[in-house]
Amino acid sequence: MASALGCSQSFFLQLLLWDLALGQIRYSIPEEMEHGAFVGNLVEDLGLNVRMLAARKFRLVSGDRKQYLKVNFDNGVLFVNERIDREQLCGQSSTCSLPFEVAVENPMEIHRVEVEIADINDNSPSFPKSDSYLQIGESIAPGARFPLESAHDPDIGVNTVSSYQITSNDHFGLNIQARNDGSKIVELLLEKALDREQQPFLLLVLTAIDGGVPHRSGTTEISIAVLDANDNAPLFNHEIYRASVPENAPKGTLVTQINAADLDQGTNAEIKYTFSKHSAERGRELFQLDSETGEIKVQAGLDFEEANIYELYVQATDNGAPPMAGHAKVVVNLIDLNDNAPEIKLTSVTNVITEDATPGTIVAGITVTDVDSGENGQVRCQIPTSIPFKLQTSPNNQYTLMVGDILDREKQSSYNVSISAWDGGTPPLSTNQTIVVTVSDVNDNAPEFTQSSYNVYLMENNTPGASIFAVTALDPDGDQNGEISYSVVENQIQDVSATAYISISSKSGNIYALRSFDYEQLKHFQIKVQAQDGGFPPLTSVALVNVIILDQNDNAPFIVSAITWNNSTAVEIPLRSTYPGYSVTKVLGTDADSGQNARLSYQLMDATDPSLFSVGLLTGEIRTLRRLLEEDATTQSLVILVKDNGQPSLSSTATLLFSLLSNVTDILPEPSDLSNKRHYFSNLNLYAIVGLGSTSFIFLVTIILLVAIKCKQDRNISTVCCCLGQTISEDNFSRRSAPHQAVNYTGVGAEPYHYSICLSPESSKSEFLYLKPYTATLPYSDVSVNNTTARHEFKQ
């Protein structure tokens, strides 16, 4: 057997062939080859690069549980992995092959390969039984035939049973007939009449021989008892009966009826019908034969796809002794019905595909089959036209599912691709199968802020480290590509990095103030925030954030000075000549805040004689309410409250001291003096207008510079004080000592000031003189200093 196997393998290896047609490669090898046996250089035949097999995920796709074949990744050779027994794999089928598919990626390719398994003579013929027993009457005439059980050989073609032999004898020979499927029927043929008295018993040996090289054989013994009895066998009215039945015929359906007659009489003519030993077991399972009537009926479910024709061998046996039998054949054809829906088989499915996959990218290979015949087995396949995929048709009901249009994960992240297949039957049968294709993300969308610019209104004196605003950016990409981190774009604010003023949470987009802002120092600034996704390469976008500082009433009014009408020397004014409404002086205050927080009002908070003086609510001008009398105290003290309009309001106080002299002559005011007063008021108003205009101009220029070139502009109002100090020179005043008393008052948020004012001996011009304070005047810019007393003195 080993030498025969070696010869067969050598023979078939020389006949090994492959062809490339319609994308299919075919090899042929004999069965029973040893592990590692060469089949073909598959990689070379496919035109692939053996070095790229691992990178392109080269693999064999087969539906078999056993992996009969493998590929050597070093040289691309297809070799036998497990022993292949053709009879076990394909049974008695005339053809036997191992189909599989070769799948590679980058790009996706699918190749179909078929390895034909050729038969070798590795099985000997065998009989169902090692011996059999026959009873044959001596009256039977020569020519009578007696069916014998045929031998079975699992091999096919020339390797199966080709002939039978029987041991040499005087009475019997063999009659051999061929079936449609190539198998043979053997019958024992009586060639010479038997004589029971001469030879009542015969023992013969039947040998079955196959056609392989070398031949293989099997034997069985036949024991024959010669009887003296019935000498006529029943005869059928047809040697072959033919019938057709639909494959869905229910149990009990009549297929046909056979009939036989016997020329004998009596019990020798009584006939019973049975299936002969030549009928296949499957046929006897599917059909039932009535022994009395000869009716053949369906007794189990039929299936055209299992077998479309059955050959039943029947015999009619009489009741003689010994009994005699006649034989006939019944051929049953099954009528195919459309009872099988198409079957969809998927190979090499790629369930995840990137959204930048180009049209034509292969997603899956599809094979559609229908075991029905004719139009019932003709199939068509399609997918919905509303999805960005398409089917490409190949021969033999092969299809390729591929990308048909541009994909966009942000519009749709997955597709349920429904594959429908239907046959050509009436009515047609269909099958549906769904492939879920997930579209993986590509970083093709930059983050986008909800607004291109944001306005943030922040009250000054804010708490450092507190959140003041939050920006939001959206990225429709998924996973890491959609993860957004925020940052502040580097720029300068008053020559300082923006990151020293503002920080932003990289995760939430919350903006935090790193310092407390002062409206009086910085009213507005801009920063740029950037949103960056986590893709590779990352994508970014920028938004502008305008931070507008809002004023808070955090500065108390500042007392600039108490002003006399002009810079001339004191003029004596008799007390009794002082008229009601006489303008004594004017208190000037300022407030570093803006708006209502800087709107000031003046009130007389305390006075030595409240009935003597009044204060202008909005102007701060101090006037007499009545004439001065001798009885009035020579020293008068006024406490002026200067209050802003903020909520809550802040205030400061100024203390003024007046010294009244009674030893003067009555002198009426001169017209020229009144003119000088009006001139002085005019000058005073001019100063106020110039100061207000200068302040407004500086504020406007500051805003323009911050917005346009983002430069620092310091606002220094102390220069105003300098101007006033220069205007009212001390050199024009004569200093005299006079009794005076400072009155101190501190209100809510107040800053007390102390002034001394004396009436001049030449008081006819009703003017007061401004002198330097006893202590240094507070700088205008430093309005935050508390509990500081400025003391000024006016003398006459």
Specify if 571 maps to a domain: yes
Nearest to 449 by CA among 472, 416, 418, 421: 472
Q: Tell me the pLDDT tens digit for each residue of 662-672.
A: 654 444 444 44
Q: Mutual orientation of helices 718-727 and 671-708 as an angle, nearest 10°?
A: 160
What value does the mean pLDDT take over residues 242-262? 93
What value does the mean pLDDT take over residues 548-561? 89
**pLDDT band of 169, cuts 50, 70, 90:** very high
Question: What does the alpha-carbon distance between residue 184 and residue 82 come to, in Å, rounded to a whole number?
Answer: 33
Note whether 77 and 215 are same-domain residues. no
Note whether 217 and 239 are same-domain residues. no
Least confident residue range of 214-218, 499-503, 668-672: 668-672
Look at residue 30 in the predicted model and tell me its pLDDT. Answer: 92
Note whether 711 and 583 are same-domain residues. yes
Question: What does the alpha-carbon distance between residue 711 and residue 697 come to, in Å, rounded to a whole number?
Answer: 16
Q: Which residue has the higher pLDDT, 160 or 725?
A: 160
Q: Are 651 and 749 in contact (CB under 8 A)?
A: yes
Note whether 608 and 711 are same-domain residues. yes
Nearest to 435 by CA among 478, 387, 396: 387
Q: How far is CA 165 from CA 120, 132, 144, 439, 749, in A?
A: 23, 16, 18, 71, 137
Q: Name the percent of the chain lying above pLDDT 90.
A: 40
Q: How far is CA 37 from CA 10, 15, 101, 442, 629, in A?
A: 11, 15, 20, 47, 141
Q: Please tell me what DSSP assigns to residue 514.
A: S
Residue where a domain stops, chosen among 172, 198, 227: 227
Give the burial class of 551: count Cβ atoms within 10 A of its Cβ; 0-12 exposed, 13-18 middle, 19 or more buried: buried
Specify if 292 maps to a domain: yes
Angle at 246 (CA atoms; ends 241, 248), nearest 5 degrees: 135
Question: What does the alpha-carbon distance between residue 572 and residue 760 come to, in Å, rounded to a whole number?
Answer: 5
3-class secondary structure, 47: coil
Question: What does the alpha-carbon distance between residue 161 and residue 156 come to, in Å, rounded to a whole number?
Answer: 9
Note whether 77 and 45 are same-domain residues. yes
Residue where a domain stops, chosen among 440, 462, 486: 440
Angle at 493 (CA atoms; ends 492, 499), nearest 5 degrees: 70
Note whether 169 and 42 are same-domain residues. no
pLDDT over 80 (residue 431): yes
Look at residue 268 in the predicted model and tell me its pLDDT. Answer: 82
Q: What are phi and psi of 203, to 5 degrees?
A: -125, 115
What value does the mean pLDDT take over residues 434-440? 92
Cα 325 to its chain centre, rounded Å, is 78
Angle at 218 (CA atoms; ends 217, 224), nearest 5 degrees: 135
Q: Are 18 and 40 in contact (CB under 8 A)?
A: yes
Specify if 125 maps to a domain: no
Question: 345 CB contacts (<8 Å, ≥6 apart)?
Answer: 63, 366, 367, 368, 369
3-class secondary structure, 307: coil
Upstream peptide bond of 427 is cis (omega within 30 degrees of 0)? yes
Question: What does the alpha-carbon distance between residue 366 and residue 348 come to, in Å, rounded to a whole number?
Answer: 9
Look at residue 410 in the predicted model and tell me its pLDDT. Answer: 86
pLDDT over 70 (residue 18): no
Specify if 147 maps to a domain: yes
**pLDDT band of 140, cuts 50, 70, 90:** confident
pLDDT over 70 (residue 7): no
Note whether 322 and 355 are same-domain residues. no
Mean pLDDT in the chain? 79
Nearest to 496 by CA among 472, 522, 457, 520: 522
Q: Tell me the pLDDT tens digit for each residue of 275-288.
A: 998 888 999 999 99
pLDDT over 80 (residue 758): no
Which residue blocks in 612-763 are alpha helix, DSSP H? 671-708, 718-727
pLDDT over 60 (residue 652): yes
What value does the mean pLDDT take over residues 623-637? 83
Question: What does the alpha-carbon distance between residue 766 and residue 624 come to, in Å, rounded to a whole number?
Answer: 11
0.85 exceeded by pTM: no
3-state per-residue secondary structure call for 408-475 = CCCCCCEEEEEEEEEECCCCCCEEEEEEEEEEECCCCCCCEECCCEEEEEEECCCCCCCEEEECCEEC
The 10 Å Cβ neighbour count of residue 128 is 11
The CATH number given to whatever domain includes residue 522 is 2.60.40.60
3-class secondary structure, 541: strand
Q: Are 200 and 228 in contact (CB under 8 A)?
A: no
Note whether 214 and 264 are same-domain residues. no
Sign of CA dihedral 340, 346, 351, 356: negative
Cα 202 to its chain centre, rounded Å, is 86
Which of the residue ranges 71-80, 85-94, 667-676 has the most confident prediction, judged by mean pLDDT? 71-80
Look at residue 687 in the predicted model and tell me its pLDDT. Answer: 62
Q: To the nearest 10°, the Cα dihedral for 33, 34, 40, 43? A: 140
- Whose tokens are 């039957």? That residue is 425
Residue where a domain stops, chosen among 419, 440, 461: 440
Least confident residue range of 63-67, 168-172, 550-554, 594-598: 63-67
Q: Which two tokens stand for residue 303?
A: 């299936």
Specify if 123 maps to a domain: no
Least confident residue range of 368-382, 651-665, 677-691: 677-691
3-class secondary structure, 162: strand
Least confident residue range of 56-65, 477-486, 535-544: 56-65
What value does the mean pLDDT take over residues 113-119? 87
What's at 602, amino acid-wise?
Answer: Y
pLDDT over 90 (residue 246): yes
Q: Tell me the pLDDT tens digit for each residue of 403-424.
A: 999 998 888 889 999 999 998 8
pLDDT over 90 (residue 388): yes
Q: Are 213 and 345 in contact (CB under 8 A)?
A: no
**pLDDT band of 131, cuts 50, 70, 90:** very high
Note whether 353 and 319 are same-domain residues. no
Look at residue 382 in the predicted model and tell me its pLDDT. Answer: 92
Q: Which helix (H) or strand (E) holds 8?
A: helix 2-14
pLDDT over 60 (residue 122): yes
Q: Are 106 and 55 in contact (CB under 8 A)?
A: yes
Q: What are phi and psi of 482, to 5 degrees?
A: -105, 0
Nearest to 667 by CA among 771, 570, 744: 570
Specify if 594 maps to a domain: yes
Specify if 425 maps to a domain: yes
Look at residue 630 in the predicted model and tell me its pLDDT. Answer: 78
Question: What does the alpha-carbon distance between residue 796 and residue 767 come to, in Å, rounded to a whole number?
Answer: 9
**pLDDT band of 593, cuts 50, 70, 90:** confident
Specify if 585 maps to a domain: yes
Q: Which two tokens stand for residue 120?
A: 């070798």
Q: Which two tokens stand for residue 408?
A: 């966009």
Note whether 356 and 402 are same-domain residues. yes
How many domains in the chain?
Answer: 6
Note whether 632 and 769 are same-domain residues. yes
pLDDT over 60 (residue 605): yes
Note whether 305 and 351 are same-domain residues. no
Q: Which helix (H) or strand (E) holds 177?
A: strand 172-178
Question: What does the alpha-carbon distance between residue 160 and residue 182 come to, in Å, rounded to a whole number?
Answer: 9
Look at residue 710 in the predicted model and tell me its pLDDT. Answer: 59
Q: Tell me the pLDDT tens digit for each residue of 319-337.
A: 887 788 999 999 999 988 8
Look at residue 721 in the predicted model and tell me its pLDDT. Answer: 33
Q: Which two tokens stand for residue 673?
A: 């003096």
- Whose tokens are 């039947």? That residue is 206
Question: 730 CB contacts (<8 Å, ≥6 apart)?
Answer: 770, 771, 772
Q: Are 236 and 259 in contact (CB under 8 A)?
A: yes
Domain, as residue range, for 466: 448-550
- Count H helices and E strands in the chain, helices first: 6, 52
